Amino acid sequence: MQRTEIATLGEFGLIDHLAKEIKLTQPSSLKGVGDDAAVIDNAGKRTLVTTDLLLEGIHFDLTYVPLKHLGYKAAIVNFSDIYAMNGRPQQITVSLGISKRFSVEDLELFYEGLMLACEIYGVDIVGGDTTSSLTGFTISITCIGYADEKDIVYRDGAKNTDLICVSGDLGAAYMGLQLLEREKSVFGGSNSPQPDFAGKEYLLERQLKPEARKDIPALLAENGIKPTAMIDVSDGVSSDIMHICKQSDVGCVIYEERLPVDYQTAMMAETFSMNVTTVALNGGEDYELLFTVPLADHERVSSLPGIHVIGHITKKENGCNLITRDGTEMELKAQGWNHLRE
């Protein structure tokens, strides 16, 4: 494979090279890459802005994360935050810190993944920045989305007796990470490693190529359901429901038996001698939507495909609790990913 040193293009040449395939598709994107700032027409809607910073060695390991997958995931994690507000992502800006070990072709692969995600989700790349890095690959993406004021869902709207719901299944991304880390360890001690991924493709996809649940806000709206609070599952259900409880000044009850877990996740947890409930509650990076709805919507929300009622909101003084399969009540712990924990 050809390798072109970034220094042969320079910063602005690199920007021009990577941006030449970018096409604007949103009517709200009036001006994209190539000027001092992007120009966006709000058209009377509320603007939603979110930023994610991804650092090599902290958020991803290039030993087993392909650059194209990394580009795709870097975009998705931002889109997910906008969907969690019941909005629609429409533009992103992309800033990169790049060390000398990367070539132009490496960044082309990263941008392939980035642009694929944008194409699938209908989002425009409208700007960004690049700089040199002495500490590995750094990715900072800002996503801009829109919503009508009446449609926006915050974290602080959950009320006593509201139902707690989650889309999809939980813990698969975390078990995918454990699988990749195991194979990396095997790779380190072998001259001809053969990764054991057979039958575990779903776990790898959930870790390396997650999807944002843009279908869930649309499904809820079609059925006349507006969540009272919502968040995406990035740090783990236990941590994320506690964010809602703190912002809404309420407590909660989660039922262990109602946590949705895929068969591959359960089997891999057993292989690693991990408690599957701990994995489901604390794994993180599932990018499912966790939300609350009024008790009156129980029949409607329970009938929707891919949505699971896993508990309910209580009064603040009751705290946040897990009811185990044998009926024991335990305090729910926020044991999900904490970026600044020692």
Question: According to the model, what pLDDT value does residue 340 have?
Answer: 42
Dist. CA 241–CA 246, nearest whole Å: 9
| pLDDT tens digits, 131-140 | 999 889 999 9
232 beta partners: 289
CB 216 within 8 A of CB 307: yes
Q: Given phi > 0 = left and psi -120 to 50 = alpha, else beta, which region is 20?
A: alpha
322 beta partners: 254, 330
128 beta partners: 94
Q: What token pair was written down for 174?
A: 């975390």
Question: According to the model, what pLDDT value does residue 184 have?
Answer: 85
Residue 296 is classified by DSSP as G
Dist. CA 254–CA 240, nearest whole Å: 12
Q: Are strands 251-255 and 138-147 parallel, antiparallel or unpaired?
A: unpaired
**Helix, strand, or coil here: 61?**
coil
**Side chain identity at 238, as an amino acid letter?**
S
Which stretches of the chain score pLDDT less than 70? Answer: 1, 11-12, 33-38, 187-196, 336-342
CB 239 within 8 A of CB 334: yes
**Helix, strand, or coil here: 107?**
helix
Dist. CA 311–CA 291, nearest whole Å: 11
| pLDDT tens digits, 31-57 | 876 666 667 787 788 899 998 999 999
Question: According to the model, what pLDDT value does residue 24 have?
Answer: 86
pTM above 0.85, yes or no: yes
Instruction: At 315, give phi and psi (nearest 5°).
Output: -70, 150
CB 77 within 8 A of CB 287: yes
Give the number of C-alpha atoms closer than 13 A to the C-alpha of residue 280, restricted to the C-beta side. Answer: 27
251 beta partners: 314
Dist. CA 203–CA 188, nearest whole Å: 22
Q: Which residue has the tokens 């599957």?
A: 276
Q: Which domains does the chain have, with CATH numbers?
A: 13-151 (3.30.1330.10), 163-331 (3.90.650.10)
First and final CA of the chain: distance in angstroms? 40
Query: What are the b/e assignments for 90-117, b being 16+ CB within 10 Å?
Result: bbbbbbbbbeeebbbebbbbbbebbbeb
Dist. CA 77–CA 80, nearest whole Å: 5
Instruction: At 174, give phi and psi (nearest 5°).
Output: -65, -40
Nearest Cα to 32, choosing from 18, 52, 47? 18
Q: What token pair was written down for 147?
A: 């919503």
Q: What is the largest CA-CA distance in the chain?
A: 65
Question: According to the model, what pLDDT value does residue 7 have?
Answer: 81
